[in-house]
Amino acid sequence: MIAKRIIPCLDVKDGATVKGVNFVNLRDAGDPVALGARYSADGADELVYLDITASHEGRKTFTGMVKRVAATLNIPFTVGGGINELADVERMLAAGADKVSVNSAALRNPQLIEDIAKHFGAQVCVVAIDAHYEQGDWMCYLNGGRLPAGKRLFEWAAEAEARGAGEILFTSMNHDGMKTGYANSALAALAGALHIPVIASGGAGEKAHFRDAFLVGKADAALAAGVFHFGEIGVAELKQYLLDEGINVRTKM
């Protein structure tokens, strides 16, 4: 049985880690390089870094940070934000990242998924989907949850897989920062429909929420931010809890 993964996520703005609720009301959560090193030492399986203000200047700041992160980590990490073309992917991989996450750019230009998979391999391409449950359906959003994309979650996820995505990172905008648990019904539906790993995101508030994402939501990995950044849950204690609950996770030797 493949081990379930625990993935801390660091949203980076102007070189600092930030965290909000429902994609707004951001507050400082610390230095992204130091946080990443701490999570690696604590037994995190992977990390995700997202440049949430990917202007030209932000990109230069972010690229420098990626290089510093790569120098301190011994676990894989994914970077996203402002990945619009193959040159962006190449820059992030050259800086030391293992994977890239694409969201808005892929919705606007689905061919980008195929191009990344063709040039760098499907394992490099994580398609992130921010979706909001409204009027009985999950709808995708662009630009950090600001603009409706006019696509349904399940249809877009299936298209992304068909185009070569290696993983789907699904964030429920309804659950983001609420600490009430993941969108497990939607996760289970995605897991049942796709043949690639699904990463749960949005809603972690306690250790049981991770358990439920794996057992009920059938997720392959669970991503969280605030509960890790502000010391509410430790990665090592979470993994021990999951082991006690019968869930296969990797532990540090």
Question: Is position 250 within any domain?
Answer: no
The pLDDT, as a whole number, for residue 146 is 85
The DSSP symbol for 16 reads: E
Number of folded domains that form the chain: 1
Contacts 24+ apart (CB under 8 A), 171-174: 171/128, 171/129, 171/130, 171/131, 171/201, 171/202, 172/131, 172/132, 172/133, 172/201, 172/202, 172/203, 173/22, 173/23, 173/130, 173/131, 173/132, 173/141, 173/145, 173/202, 174/22, 174/132, 174/133, 174/202
Annotated active-site residue 88? The verdict is no
Q: Which domain holds residue 82?
A: 13-244
Q: Which two tokens stand for residue 237?
A: 């204690």
Closest CA to 5 of 246, 242, 244, 253: 242
Mind listing the pLDDT tens digit for each residue in 136-172?
999 999 987 889 999 999 999 999 999 999 999 999 9
Question: Is position 3 within any domain?
Answer: no
Question: Is position 2 within any domain?
Answer: no
* Residue 224 bridge partners (DSSP): 8
Q: Which two tokens stand for residue 123?
A: 């394992």
Q: Which of 11, 45, 176, 220 is catalytic?
A: 11
**What's the predicted TM-score (pTM) here?**
0.93
Give yes or no for a contact between 225 and 202, defined as CB atoms under 8 angstroms apart: no
Q: Which of 88, 130, 176, 220 is catalytic?
A: 130
Question: Is position 253 within any domain?
Answer: no
Range of lowest pLDDT (6-20, 89-103, 150-164, 225-239): 6-20
Mind listing the pLDDT tens digit for each residue in 21-59?
544 445 555 689 999 999 999 999 999 998 887 655 667
Residue 41 is which amino acid? A
CATH of residue 211's domain is: 3.20.20.70
Question: Is position 190 within any domain?
Answer: yes
Question: Is position 4 within any domain?
Answer: no
Closest CA to 127 of 157, 94, 86: 157
Question: Is position 123 within any domain?
Answer: yes
Question: Is position 197 within any domain?
Answer: yes
Instruction: Give the helix ranges, DSSP H, for 15-125.
Output: 32-42, 56-72, 86-95, 104-108, 111-120
CB atoms within 10 A of CB 136: 5
Q: In whole angstroms, give the CA distance from residue 36 to residue 31.
A: 9
Annotated active-site residue 130? The verdict is yes
Mind listing the pLDDT tens digit for each residue in 202-241?
999 999 999 999 999 999 999 999 899 888 999 999 999 9
